[in-house]
Structure 1
Amino acid sequence: MTDHVSYAGSEDKTMPAVCYALYLLAFATGITAIIGLIIAYSQRATAGPAMQSHYTFLIRTFWIGLMLMVAGGILFGVGALLSVILIGFPIMGVAWLILGGAGIWYGVRCVVGLVFLSRGEAYPRPYAVIA
């Protein structure tokens, strides 16, 4: 009689680490985050539970970060248009705060995710907005 061991998925840390690196490189290039997102979507289904939590965390980081950047960009554009009548300058200031905060939030999430990954642990709350 043989025992059959069911293995749900791979717990290889290489691809999540590549995704985190691509996300961090996005500060310089921008496009690498999209490549990381594609990798995260393609690898999530075949990954083990611990790595699935990292892929979910990465996917949510991308989309929430994109929404924050778009909101900040729209606000900045509105502020730029309204700067003709001087009311736009405070709006542009708020937009800069949103954009800067989004960048810090994005970077912190990537570093915190890498810390959990380097320990070989699942990300404890992949659906949380705050790292």
Structure 2
Amino acid sequence: MTTDNTTAPTPAAATSDGMCKAVYLLYLAGLFTGITALIGVVIAYLNRNDAPEWLRSHYQFQIRTFWMGLLFLAVGSLLSMVIIGFLVLLFWAVWLVIRVIKGWKALAQQQAHPNPTGWMF
């Protein structure tokens, strides 16, 4: 008789995990559509309180990514009248892709996000 000490994710955790993945995908789609990022942050706000602790860090990271990204977009848009704004917008796009990839990687390993309150990556 062998015992397996690993715990399989519960159906609720799998659903939350799937919703968390959906938010990351919606953020990437937001690079092209915009509105999907708003849908993603709403999903993150709705799911963060019911999620296991390790997923809460991802939802917190996603919510902060949305609001910080919105700040970068506002500053970039205002500064686009002078050329530097386009560089800010380019930085925002690269910043967003890197944050989504790093978040997705930690999520795939079923680990809490290592720095959900950080500004960079």
Please state which band the TM-score falls in when normalised by the shorter chain: 0.7 to 0.9
Contact persistence 1:57–1:126 (CA under 8 A): yes
The ranges of structure 1 where at least 4 consecutive aligned residues each deviate by more than 3 angstroms after the TM superposition are none
User: Which of residues 100, 109, 116 is equivalent to 1:110?
Assistant: 100
* Equivalent-residue separation in structure 1 for 2:49 and 2:71 (angstroms): 25
**2:113 partner SS:** coil
Percentage of matched positions with identical amino acids? 36
**1:11 partner SS:** helix
The alpha-carbon deviation at position 26 of structure 1 amounts to: 0.8
TM-score by length of 1: 0.79
Q: Deviations over 1:71-97 (max 9, x none)?
A: 110112xx3xxxxxxxxxxxx221111
The alpha-carbon deviation at position 14 of structure 1 amounts to: 0.7
TM-score by length of 2: 0.86
* Equivalent-residue separation in structure 2 for 1:11 and 1:49 (angstroms): 10
2:63 counterpart of 1:73 = no
Query: CA RMSD of the aligned region, Å?
Result: 1.0
Name 1:61's counterpart in structure 2. Answer: 65
* Equivalent-residue separation in structure 2 for 1:67 and 1:103 (angstroms): 13
Aligned pairs for 1:1-131 within 5 A: 10-12=12-14, 13-76=17-80, 79=81, 92-131=82-121
* Equivalent-residue separation in structure 2 for 1:118 and 1:18 (angstroms): 13
* Equivalent-residue separation in structure 2 for 1:39 and 1:16 (angstroms): 8
Rg larger in structure? 1
Q: Deviations over 1:92-122 (max 9, x none)?
A: 2211111100111011101110010011111
Gapped regions of structure 1 (runs ≥ 5): 1-9, 80-91
Name 1:7's counterpart in structure 2. Answer: none
Contact persistence 1:11–1:50 (CA under 8 A): no
The alpha-carbon deviation at position 11 of structure 1 amounts to: 3.3
The alpha-carbon deviation at position 130 of structure 1 amounts to: 1.1
Gapped regions of structure 2 (runs ≥ 5): 1-11
